Amino acid sequence: MKKMLKFVTCIFFVISAKLVNSIELTFELPDNANQCFYEDFKQGKDSILEFQVVTGGQYDVDLILEDPNGKVLYKDTKKQYDSINFKTEIEGTYKACFSNEFSTFSHKIVYMDWQVGDEQENFNKAITQGTHAMSQLENYAVSIGDKLRTVDDYQTHHRLREATGRKRAEYLNERVMMWSIGQTALVIFIGIAQVYLLRSFFSDKRSRY
């Protein structure tokens, strides 16, 4: 019974670790706008910041990542997606700013996943509660947690690719429809012009003196 309770506790920590140690969201970035996000870090923590422009314009944004002292850790312009790995040198509030100021009319949808700290280390501390070695049941829980995180990442990236592909397909379909309407109107106009031209050839024109 104790092992079963411990196993359930392990699974709870595995599932909640993702929620506690990461920020995952999708937000709208209007044209000529700048959106910043803040996260508190302790010194010596590993972090991964991933982002991807899902829809809008040329699928690109500017990103600046700064530490609490204003030191620029990452800066790039007009990127569709990227993954930034860094280790905190000082404790404090880190800032990530997404900019769409170079765009005058394109709203964009941006996905961001900011993973904070070492989830595996926190999980091990939670389930061991001391210095004893993990049992086989706990090892299974760790393995299940890793697989759940992998599945979650795959599902997230699949949804992003699906959303991006759907948006591009809708845009292409709209362009094709407009081109087809233009071609149809041109054909009708040419047909009417030819009818009037042929009628002018057979009309009885009499000169007046």
For tokens 């009818």, name the residue: 195
In angstroms, the CA 161 to CA 91 distance is 35
Nearest 5°: CA angle at 25, between 90 and 171?
Answer: 130
* 81-to-20, 60, 75, 138, 164 alpha-carbon distances in Å: 24, 8, 13, 36, 12
User: What pLDDT tens digit does each residue of the chain (209 aa) get?
Assistant: 444 434 434 444 444 444 445 677 888 899 888 999 998 888 888 888 989 888 888 888 999 999 999 999 999 998 888 888 988 889 999 999 999 988 878 888 898 888 876 554 555 555 555 445 557 777 777 778 777 877 777 777 777 777 777 777 887 888 899 999 999 999 999 999 888 888 887 776 555 54
pLDDT value for 134: 58
pTM flag (> 0.85): no
User: How does DSSP assign 24-53, residue by residue?
Assistant: EEEEEE-TT-EEEEEEEE-TT-EEEEEEEE
Q: Which fold has domain 2-164?
A: Jelly Rolls (2.60.120)
